[in-house]
Structure 1
Amino acid sequence: MLRLVVLVSGSGTNFADLLQRTNAGSVPAEIIAVGADRACGGLEVAAAAGIPTFVEPFVAPREEWSARIADRIHAFEPDLVVLSGFMRLLSASAVSRFEPAILNTHPAHLPEFPGAQGVRDALAAGVAQTGASVIIVDSGIDTGPILAQQRVPVLPDDTQDSLHDRIKLVERDLLASVITHIADGTIDLADHGLEHRLDRTDS
């Protein structure tokens, strides 16, 4: 069973869904700690479930803050780190401590609409469909290897909130599937790491 540390910044609805699935046994993993860069609803969900939590408030410079939060994560010795609505960029050196076993969900069909405003940007672009993706985190902004993604239609009367709500449902299913497939060996993260990606590109 995989040991997960989850990082959150907001209400933690996607994290709460993953917690429910792990508790039910449908995802073969255990959430051993939840961390955040601020006080937030996600930490409250974790505390209510008896899961250890930690907060590392962001203080510049980013490199030093990233090293501190990476130390907090590392202390739990996780098999996998999951960024679930975590709204801070970790430094490249912090990411490298866990890569490729560090995942992020993104509310767009990458490489379309990267960055913090993927849902807003899709609506502004007037596209007929956007999507959801699960990626390995690298040193870029939503540029890591894609492990799973799915299209989500944009409806004529969609608002940013309504579209995001539908994307979240897909994100949750994709994340659960990816973690399950990592646990059962269907996905080998070593095949998707940065070094492998660079080697493949150069060949």
Structure 2
Amino acid sequence: MRRARVLVLISGGGSNLQTLIDAARQPNCAYEIVHVIANRPDAFGLKRAEHAGIASACLDHKAFQVRADFDTALAALIDQITPDLIVLAGFMRIMGAEFVARYEGRMINIHPSLLPNFPGLHTHARALEAGVTLHGCTVHWVTAGVDEGAIIGQACVPVLPGDSPDDLAARVLVQEHRLYPVCVEAVASGRARLVNGRTYLDGKPGGIALMGI
């Protein structure tokens, strides 16, 4: 069976990228990573792609004075690659509504909180300030609203007494590395689909849930 062509967008170290690379090497994986694009030339994830023999490119956002021009250039590059699925793995750019609409239903992201709680930045500090007892990460479809897309999967961890934001971030990152390959596999295989703004898993409304420790 043909494997889905996955393009990964990154901005930094690429630890989630590495988990996807490792998963794609497993027999019968539903996807292959065909290209990696970074918006920062010093992104270590580019080295990860090179080491894995995956084609890569850098499109430095600082070379564009207008945000929409960056979106246009990125879309042109993506369309040359012709991916089936675009996976954001620590890609720290907010894309315009026109760009997002162009790839609706084919672009997913991972966010370090249990959405809809704590969209945006500084999620771990905000979780501690709010006094929640559970925290985690979410994989969702990308929409024009920041971190507002339908949820594909979530993994949660307990918030422990004395946790710092760094403690919580480290515990959540472990779950990100578990959750993202599972969700990418589900989307790439067709098990998870976006239908009228909702996620359907195996033909039924709902998503993937993992419990961490």
The question of a shared fold, defined as TM-score above 0.5 by the shorter chain, is answered with yes
| Alpha-carbon distance in 2 for matches of 1:185, 1:118 | 30
Matches within 5 A, 1:58-69: 58=61, 59-69=64-74
User: CA RMSD of the aligned region, Å?
Assistant: 1.8
Matches within 5 A, 1:141-160: 141-160=146-165
Which residue does the alignment assign to 2:60?
A: 57
1:11 is paired with a residue whose SS is coil
Q: What is the count of residue pairs matched by the alignment? A: 194
Change (3 A) 1:191 1:172: farther
For 1:168, the aligned partner's letter is: L
Matches within 5 A, 1:110-149: 110-149=115-154
Higher strand fraction: Structure 1 or Structure 2?
Answer: 2
Which residue does the alignment assign to 2:12?
A: 10
Change (3 A) 1:102 1:120: same
**Which residue of 91, 98, 107 maps to 1:86?**
91
Q: Aligned residues: percent identity?
A: 36
Higher helix fraction: Structure 1 or Structure 2?
Answer: 1
Greater CA drift, 180-189 or 99-108: 180-189
**Which residue of 31, 34, 59 maps to 2:33?**
31
| Alpha-carbon distance in 1 for matches of 2:123, 2:78 | 27
Q: Where does structure 2 lack aligned partners over 5 or more consecutive residues?
A: 200-213
Which residue does the alignment assign to 1:75?
A: 80
Which residue does the alignment assign to 1:198?
A: none
Is 1:175 the counterpart of 2:177 in the alignment?
A: no
1:75 is paired with a residue whose SS is helix
Which residue does the alignment assign to 2:44?
A: 41
For 1:177, the aligned partner's letter is: V
| Alpha-carbon distance in 2 for matches of 1:155, 1:174 | 21
| Alpha-carbon distance in 2 for matches of 1:115, 1:26 | 35
Q: Give the deviation of 1:55 after TM superposition.
A: 1.1
Scaled by the length of structure 2, the TM-score of the pair is: 0.85
Change (3 A) 1:192 1:176: farther
| Alpha-carbon distance in 1 for matches of 2:125, 2:164 | 9
8 Å contact kept, 1:12–1:42: yes
Q: Give the deviation of 1:190 after TM superposition.
A: 4.0
For 1:43, the aligned partner's letter is: L
Greater CA drift, 168-177 or 76-85: 168-177
The C-alpha deviation readout for 1:65-100, integer Å capped at 9, x for no partner, is 111112111211000000001111111111111111
Q: Where does structure 1 lack aligned partners over 5 or more consecutive residues?
A: 195-203
| Alpha-carbon distance in 2 for matches of 1:183, 1:56 | 25
| Alpha-carbon distance in 2 for matches of 1:75, 1:29 | 19
Which residue does the alignment assign to 1:197?
A: none
| Alpha-carbon distance in 2 for matches of 1:25, 1:106 | 28
